């Protein structure tokens, strides 16, 4: 009887081994059918907070010409840099970097076009998030702008996007020296254009860890809520979010070409393989137990 039982167990084990290739799948392809950032930017034609029109399809905004961002993923920003918040209080960046990941962007409040599109996209994405374990820090690149202007800008956005509260959102202004040090560490380039009387810059946001480490660069003027959520979860290093959030992060990888997180086939197949094996064991276990009793 013991020999027959061992043979039975061996056959069942061989059956389960058929599914192991799923767990060792190594094709790095990802699954993604969403349009790219370039397509999204070209078709974007929303009105900004200042009432400006969007860019025409195929048109590259002047603000983007000749301006590049040097990504410094893994580097830390200086959290001792001081900026004034919208209430006029001088605080170090450290006060916004505690236990939660931080979404940061550098714009200027008097911008007539691109900054508004960029902020609109970020606020629209955050407005749809039920998950609120983050800080959102907006920094002006214009050292001549003041706290009164920052406060007015913040109030306008909170009025427009009513699912958001004031506490985790901070609109900052600072000295030219502090701004330059921050933007240098972020790899963010900008310049004043005399012809248009505007700052030329790229629309980019950053997700940072609670310790100030740069985790991800998010470009553009449209942001899916899931992209923002996963970027913040990734920056949180597993210290924020629940089990489902961590499973989602495991199944998704950031696709820089698409400027969004895409289902990652390798990890998706691994999770699917584990679920299949668990389901098979749960389904076949009663029969195995019953058959074992018959052998005994």
- For residue 96, is pLDDT > 60? yes
Q: Are 132 and 245 in contact (CB under 8 A)?
A: no
Mean pLDDT over each residue of the chain, to the nearest integer: 75
- Mean pLDDT, residues 90-117: 95
What local confidence, expressed as pLDDT, does residue 68 receive? 83
Token pair for 171: 């609109």
Between CA 201 and CA 238, with CA 118 as vertex, the angle to 5 degrees is 105
**CB neighbourhood size of 81 (10 A):** 19
Helix (H/G/I), strand (E/B), else coil: 281:
helix
What local confidence, expressed as pLDDT, does residue 140 receive? 98
Q: What is the DSSP string of 177-235?
A: HHHHHHHHHHT--EEEETTTTEEEE--EEEEE-TT-BEEEEEESS---HHHHHHHHHHH
Q: For residue 262, what pLDDT band results from cuts at 50, 70 and 90? A: low
Digit-coded pLDDT (tens) for 33-54 = 333 333 334 333 333 444 444 4
- For residue 137, is pLDDT > 50? yes
The Cα-based distances of 287 to 3, 206, 281, 290, 296 in angstroms read: 19, 53, 10, 5, 14
Q: For residue 120, what pLDDT band results from cuts at 50, 70 and 90? A: very high
Q: What domains lie within the chain, and their CATH numbers?
A: 2-27+269-295 (no CATH), 35-257 (3.40.30.10)
Between CA 79 and CA 177, with CA 171 as vertex, the angle to 5 degrees is 50
Could you tell me how far CA 131 lies from the centroid of its own chain?
Answer: 13
Digit-coded pLDDT (tens) for 167-223 = 999 999 999 999 999 999 999 999 998 888 899 999 999 999 999 999 999 998 999
| Cβ contacts of 236 within 8 Å, gap of 6 or more | 100, 101, 133, 209, 210
DSSP E strands in 62-160: the ranges are 82-84, 90-92, 102-107, 135-140
- For residue 246, is pLDDT > 60? no
CA dihedral 37, 41, 44, 50 (to 10 degrees): 120
Q: For residue 87, what pLDDT band results from cuts at 50, 70 and 90? A: very high
Residue 3: phi, psi to the nearest 5? Answer: -65, -45
> What are the beta bridge partners of residue 199?
192
What local confidence, expressed as pLDDT, does residue 156 receive? 96
Between CA 146 and CA 294 the distance in angstroms is: 83
Between CA 103 and CA 131 the distance in angstroms is: 14
Between CA 99 and CA 111 the distance in angstroms is: 32
Choice among 145-159, 164-178, 216-230, 245-259 with the minimum mean pLDDT: 245-259
């Amino acid at each position: 009887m013991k020999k027959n039982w061992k043979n039975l167990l061996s056959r069942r084990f061989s059956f389960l081994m058929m599914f192991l290739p799923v767990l060792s799948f190594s094709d790095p392809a990802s699954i993604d059918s969403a349009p790219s950032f370039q397509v999204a930017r070209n078709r974007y034609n929303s009105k900004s907070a200042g009432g400006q029109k969007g860019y025409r399809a195929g048109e590259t905004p002047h603000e983007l010409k000749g301006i590049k961002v040097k990504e410094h993923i893994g580097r830390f920003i200086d959290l001792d840099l001081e900026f004034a918040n919208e209430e006029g209080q001088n605080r170090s960046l450290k006060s916004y970097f505690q236990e939660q990941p931080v979404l940061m962007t550098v714009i200027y409040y008097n911008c007539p076009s691109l900054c508004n599109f960029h902020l609109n996209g970020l606020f629209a994405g955050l407005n749809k998030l039920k998950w609120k374990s983050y800080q959102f820090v907006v920094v002006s690149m214009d050292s001549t702008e003041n706290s009164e202007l920052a406060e007015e800008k913040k109030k306008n956005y909170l009025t427009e996007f009513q699912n958001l509260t004031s506490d985790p959102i901070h609109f900052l202004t600072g000295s030219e020296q502090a701004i330059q040090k921050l933007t240098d560490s972020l790899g963010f380039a900008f310049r004043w254009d005399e012809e248009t009387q505007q700052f030329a810059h790229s629309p980019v946001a950053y997700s940072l860890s609670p310790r100030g480490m740069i985790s991800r660069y998010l470009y553009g003027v449209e942001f899916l809520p899931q992209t923002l959520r996963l970027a913040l979860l990734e920056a949180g290093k597993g210290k924020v979010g629940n089990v489902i959030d961590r499973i989602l992060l495991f199944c998704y990888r950031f696709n820089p070409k698409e400027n969004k997180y895409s289902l990652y086939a390798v990890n998706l197949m691994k999770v699917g393989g584990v679920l299949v094996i668990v389901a098979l064991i749960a389904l076949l276990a009663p029969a195995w137990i019953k058959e074992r009793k018959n052998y005994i």
